[in-house]
């Protein structure tokens, strides 16, 4: 097992990475400081891993809440169901929630933990590649609103993150690719050497080579942990972690959180950000092509759905958490491994990217 620390003073916590960790009772004994435990998972993950985790937590006798699977259920209504279960079971302020699932489960569980009795402990056990390298680390929690993704939420750091690489064996190929989008992001924003490694090893990652996966997950988590340690609440540099997300969240919102996975939308969004950076003469065309090629090799979309028009995307992008004093800020690239957050972009160039970016059919 490998262990990283997210260094946040008294809120610091470990990220444990390895194989078969779901069966390790000792890890959970070290992390859990309560006798009241609630596992939150979804219908898909429950059938695969709930029994195994419950067995590892045998002495705690945990309660389980199973929510529907999908981004469409990342709502206040679903979170309220978790809160109701906590109250029905008379959970006190020293209880602990465990999020067993992908980013949706992690975000909702974390938000419930942040709100219940003004904040209780929770642990992340991410079961998708995307959640392992992104959503489970950093303390961002929340739910969606019909007008915008993740618009309701709170910063609430977990007590620990347990990443079991072996659960990826049951992940679909499409979900694997979606997770690779966030891994590629770390190379683009601050780790050029890692980006070059990904270009050479993307095939092995798609084939689920265990050693390559552990390296990619650890490197990604290390990059995120370092950024979060410098800027916990996204007042400055942490915003670079949102490369492609302003575009991607607009795509997801316009598609009503259906059809595309989060990582797929982020992949296209990162390429759109690269294209805008190129139009502003920050990137050359060869670099944009290099980014596009890696995304294609990862089986990620590099075209927008045909149904999305530029004006509609722009209207949705304006409602963004990175906006300051009414001005939309974007994460752009000055090179591979060098990202920046700026409101000083070429607005005409942005509109051209939104209007002329290649489209594909709606089916995906």
Catalytic sites, residue numbers:
118, 140, 182, 224, 234, 238, 242, 245, 249, 262
Q: Are 64 and 38 in contact (CB under 8 A)?
A: yes
Rounded to the nearest 5 degrees, what angle is found at the Cα of 224, between the Cα atoms of 72 and 126? 45
Angle at 165 between CA 189 and CA 209, to 5 degrees: 80
For tokens 């959640």, name the residue.
Answer: 131
95 three-class SS: coil
Two structure tokens written together for 90? 């008379």
347, exposed or middle or buried, with CB in 10 Å at 0-12, 13-18, 19+?
Answer: exposed
Q: Which of 171, 132, 144, 183 is nearest to 300 (CA)?
A: 183
CA distance 25 to 227: 30
Sign of CA dihedral 41, 47, 49, 50: positive
Q: Which residues of 47-58 are buried (b: 16+ CB within 10 A; e: fewer)?
A: eebbeebbebbe
| Cα dihedral 239→330→190→140 (10° resolution) | 30
The tokens describing 51, both together, are 């029994």
Name the CA radius of gyration of the chain, rounded: 20
Phi-psi region of 361 (alpha: psi -120 to 50; beta: other; left: phi over 0): beta
Measured between alpha carbons, how far is residue 7 from residues 173, 238, 338 in Å? 33, 14, 23
CA–CA distance, 110 with 362 (Å, rounded to integer): 33
CB 122 within 8 A of CB 110: yes
């Amino acid at each position: 097992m490998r262990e990283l620390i997210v260094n946040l003073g008294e809120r610091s916590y470990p990220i444990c990475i390895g194989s078969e960790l779901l069966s390790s009772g000792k890890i959970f004994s070290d992390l859990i400081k309560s006798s009241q435990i609630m596992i939150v998972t979804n219908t898909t993950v429950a059938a695969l891993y709930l029994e195994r985790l419950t067995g590892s937590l045998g002495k705690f006798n945990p309660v389980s809440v199973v929510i529907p699977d999908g981004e469409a259920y990342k709502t206040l209504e679903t979170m309220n169901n978790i809160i109701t279960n906590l109250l029905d079971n008379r959970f006190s302020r020293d209880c602990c929630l465990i999020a067993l699932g992908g980013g949706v489960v992690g975000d909702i569980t974390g938000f419930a933990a942040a709100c219940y009795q003004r904040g209780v402990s929770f642990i992340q056990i991410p079961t998708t590649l995307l959640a392992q390298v992104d959503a489970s680390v950093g303390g961002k929690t929340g739910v969606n609103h019909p007008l915008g993704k993740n618009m309701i939420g709170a910063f609430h750091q977990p007590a620990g993150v347990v990443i079991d690489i072996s659960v990826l064996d049951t992940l679909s190929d499409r979900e694997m690719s979606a997770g690779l989008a966030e891994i590629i992001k770390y190379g683009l924003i601050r780790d050029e050497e890692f980006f070059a490694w990904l270009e050479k090893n993307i095939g092995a990652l798609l084939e689920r080579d265990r050693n390559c996966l552990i390296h990619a997950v650890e490197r990604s988590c290390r990059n995120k942990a370092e950024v979060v340690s410098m800027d916990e609440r996204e007042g400055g540099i942490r915003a670079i972690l949102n490369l492609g997300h302003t575009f991607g969240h607009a795509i997801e919102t316009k598609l009503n959180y259906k059809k595309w996975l989060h990582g797929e939308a982020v992949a296209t969004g990162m390429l759109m950000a690269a294209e805008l950076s190129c139009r502003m003469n920050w990137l050359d065309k060869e670099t944009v092509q290099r980014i596009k090629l890696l995304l294609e090799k990862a089986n990620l979309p590099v075209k927008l759905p045909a149904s999305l028009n530029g004006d509609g995307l722009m209207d949705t992008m304006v409602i963004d958490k990175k906006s300051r004093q009414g001005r939309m800020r974007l994460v752009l690239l000055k090179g591979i491994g060098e990202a920046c957050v700026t409101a000083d972009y070429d607005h005409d160039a942005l509109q051209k990217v939104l209007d002329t970016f290649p489209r594909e059919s709606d089916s995906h």
